[in-house]
Structure 1
Amino acid sequence: MEHRHGEYKVLGGKLVVADFDVVDERLADVSVSGDFFLEPDSALGEINAGLTGLPVDSSAKEIAAAVEAALDPEASMLGFSPEAVAVAVRRALAKATGWGDHQWEIIKPQALTTEVNVALDEVLTEEVGAGRRNPALRIWEWKEPSVVIGSFQSLRNEVDPEGARKHGVKIVRRISGGGAMFMEGGNCITYSLYLPQTLVDGLSFVDSYPFLDTWVMASLEEMGIKAWYQPLNDIATDAGKIGGAAQKRLGGGGMVHHVTMSYDIDADKMLEVLRVGKEKLSDKGTTSAKKRVDPLRRQTGLTREQIIDTMINTFTTRYGAVESTVTSEEMAKATERVTTKFGTEEWLARVP
């Protein structure tokens, strides 16, 4: 018999703790606790009973469903949910992980071509998924003005080729979905998180975005900015949108979560290069893409370098991260991936 203990702090909610034994590959003597609110009191016993006997290989969805099925429809869960209980149980079984279960690394900015940057996202995600590299935060730097379009976006619908040629803008397609990013050196801040999918085990796609950027919100608050997620993937403040996120989960168990935040964007140039339609703006409460881009420079009064340093310090303090670099082997893989994939017309125009 093995005793297991798992904890999960709900984002914006309460702590959920799962204690149980494992007998014959099933959960036994289950006790769920925490600082949440639950009515009526008897509902806690219903949750424990619903979890008792579940196979240890139950998925997060199956665990949450067992909790929901065990509860009276009139029961009220405040500050947590069946999904939160599932995360705590999965963590107790070492099938889900928390930030503190990993040694995090930080890869500081290194000026690269945009194709190499997007190729590194794929390579480093694969390396983390395979267990050959620790999870890491990488801050981007790039050599040329660029537009990075989402994996599923239409090239002709998103980019004005004449505007791109006029301003010498490189067009690259990344592996994640989401919208186009207009990026000039010094006008935005882009970072990528490479992590095992166990860190978001049991979380919905919607919940995983703010969960992975909790440290960013804390860093922005330190700089005087109150920011929040505007579902699904926009980071916003009272003054407007300041950034957007995207994710890609690979078959090997790794995933990338990356964000671009505006620092001092040239909105006029952006609108000459990007084709931003009215339909895209219809749920944003505005009719102008230019109004949607609110630079961090104006809101903080800090240099781009100061903002990046604050972000790195926040991440380091929270997660005990250590400095790292891209290895020569990883860079060689990324360079090869540019030749075979990210630098090819076939990849760029895969959605014409």
Structure 2
Amino acid sequence: MHGEYKVAGGKLVVVDLDVVENRLANISLSGDFFLEPDEALGHMSQALEQLPADAPISEYEHAVERAAGDAVMVGFDARAVVLAVLRALGRSTSWSDHDFQLVDSGGQHPPMQMALDEVIARQVGDGRRPPTLRVWEWASNAVIIGSFQSVANEVDLEAAARHDTTVVRRISGGGAMFVEPGNSITYSLYVPATLVEGMSFVDSYEFLDRWVIQAFRDLGVEASYEPINDLVSPGGKIGGAAQKRLANGTVLHHVTMSYDMDAAKMLDILRIGREKLSDKGHISAAKRVDPIRSQTGLSRDEVVNSMLDSFESRYGLDRVQLDETTRAEAEQLAASKFEDPAWLHRVP
């Protein structure tokens, strides 16, 4: 069995091994990393010998760390070795192990957007659909609050009504977002949990958005990731990510970015407190955000197409239209859950 893991900004770790009676055997570690002293490589390989093939990740990591001791590891670490082992065992996958689908769901109103996210995520986890990318097209204004936020604390409902803005609650955590058709770029990735197996939640955010960071850099935007979940540039925040892990083994990862922004309208609707702003080093919520339009000079469609071209060049994309079965499932869920005031106000 053969597994490889490339450390972000670091080196490649390669593992070759056998499994004999559910035990790791004949382990060989290699890669383009740097390690001193040399014999530490053999010690790490030996430490993994005879461990169960289904052992917890922590058991592998502790074994490698103990074997490495005071060795100097440059460009990799014990976690990188473990991830390569998991890929060799098939417990972890890489982008290239999957065939990705791009679903064109057309313009949708806020409750339907929320429902499509949940339905497509379930389909991927149930094996009814391959790993999928979806770019949202908004049919109307929306405020989307996080799963654990209070509507009363986050949104001025009178202002939302005045601006013809629908308030909905999504299934992932994180903060509130204000979006208008044409002014936002939102996308969702629906992937198997094996793609981020062995990573911390924080690391998985950066890992799943690494492609879009590079896509923006290709457009001349000095984009980077700021933990826990922000996409930023020197001018400010570009967007924010959120995740939901489903019980059927799917990771739903979605991002909303500001292409353009009506700051006055956003601040009229959202209750953005000084406590939230204080740890960002800003006194104004509007100054926190740096719209993509101002940085690229490109139309929204040009930016989206460039993003999709970048993803396709790396991982491939099979482009499909939203099928009627999925549409019907989402319509039913939108009506029964995401339009239900009980769901919207589940946090007092």
Q: Would you say same fold, with TM above 0.5?
A: yes
Partners of 1:60 and 1:201 within 8 A in 2: no
The match for 1:193 is 189
**Cα distance in 2, alignment partners of residues 104 and 141 from structure 1:** 20
Specify the SS of the correspondent of 1:281.
helix
Contact 2:213–2:225 (8 Å) recurs in 1: no
1:253-264 equivalences under 5 Å are 253-264=249-260
Q: Which of 3, 13, 19 is 2:10 aligned to?
A: 13
Aligned to 1:58: 55
**2:90 is paired with a residue of what secondary structure?**
coil
Match of 2:211 in 1: 215
Q: Using the alignment, how far apart are the partners of 1:64 and 1:325 within structure 2?
A: 43
Structure 1 residue 30 corresponds to structure 2 residue 27: yes
Q: 1:35 Cα deviation (Å)? A: 1.0
Does residue 233 of structure 2 align to residue 237 of structure 1?
Answer: yes
- 1:155 corresponds to which residue? 151
1:44 aligns with 2:56: no
- Please give the alpha-carbon distance, in whole angstroms, between the structure 2 residues aligned to 1:87 and 1:324: 32
Displacement of 1:345 after TM fit? 0.5
- Match for residue 300 of structure 1 among 296, 303, 308: 296
Could you tell me how far 1:338 is from its partner in structure 2?
A: 1.1
Aligned to 2:321: 325
- Superposition deviation, residue 22 in structure 1: 1.1
What SS does structure 2 have at the residue aligned with 1:33?
strand
* Matched residue, 2:123: 127
Deviation at 1:109, TM superposition (A): 5.4
TM superposition shift of 1:159: 0.5
Cα-to-partner distance string for 1:81-100 (whole Å, 9 max, x where unaligned): 21111111111011111111
1:59 Cα offset (Å): 2.7
Structure 1 unaligned blocks of 5 or more = none
Whether the 8 Å CA contact 2:138–2:182 is kept in 1: the answer is no
Asked whether the equivalents of residues 119 and 338 of structure 1 are also in contact (C-alpha less than 8 Å), the reply is yes
Q: Is the 8 A contact 1:130 1:252 kept in 2?
A: yes
Percent identity over the alignment? Answer: 55
1:172 counterpart = 2:168: yes
DSSP-derived class of the 1:11 partner: coil
Distance in structure 1 (CA, Å) of the matches to 2:17 and 2:220? 43
Q: How does 1:39-118 map to 2 (within 5 A)?
A: 39-72=36-69, 74-108=70-104, 110-118=106-114
Q: How far is the alpha carbon of 1:39 from its aligned partner?
A: 2.0
When normalised by structure 2's length, the TM-score is 0.98
Deviations 1:162-204 (A, max 9, x none): 2111111100000100111100001110000010000001111
Q: Normalization by structure 1: what TM-score? A: 0.97
> Partner amino acid for 1:110?
G
Aligned alpha-carbon RMSD (Å): 1.0
Which residue is 1:184 aligned to? 180
Q: What CA distance in whole angstroms lies between the structure 2 residues aligned with 1:160 and 1:78?
A: 51
Matching residue's letter, 2:102 = I
Q: Could you list the per-position Cα deviations for residues 253-310 of structure 1 after superposition, in whole angstroms to 9, with x for gaps in the alignment? A: 0111000010111011100000111111122111110101111000000000000000
**1:283 to 2:273 alignment:** no
State the 1:112 CA deviation.
0.7
Q: Residues of 1 paired with 2:68 and 2:223: CA distance?
A: 36
Residue 132 of structure 1, CA deviation: 0.8
What 5-or-longer segments of structure 2 have no aligned partner? none
SS at match of 1:134: coil
Aligned partners of 1:23 and 1:335: how far apart in 2? 49
